[in-house]
Amino acid sequence: MSEPTQTNRKKSRRRNGDGNTYRHKNGWRTVISHKGHTVTAMGRSEQESRRLAKKRSKRFLFTMVH
């Protein structure tokens, strides 16, 4: 009998309306790309990660305009 081989599993990244959210270490990471700029944020929950990334992206875009 042969032993089952372990396959390398790619992290599944769920596309939401505001970027990609995926598991990372002990939490969640959200990556938002907009017009060539990338904003990332990490949180303990998926919702917290998205909220922080949206907040950071709005602040970043606001400073780019003004």
The structural domains of the chain, with segments of one domain joined by +, span: 15-65
Q: Is the pTM for the entire model greater than 0.85?
A: no
Residue 59, pLDDT score:
82
pLDDT digits (tens, 9 = 90+) for 15-60: 555 789 999 999 999 999 877 888 999 999 999 999 999 999 888 7
- DSSP state letters, 1-66: -PPPPPPPPPPP-EEETTEEEEEETTEEEEEEEETTEEEEEEESSHHHHHHHHHHHHHHHHHHHH-
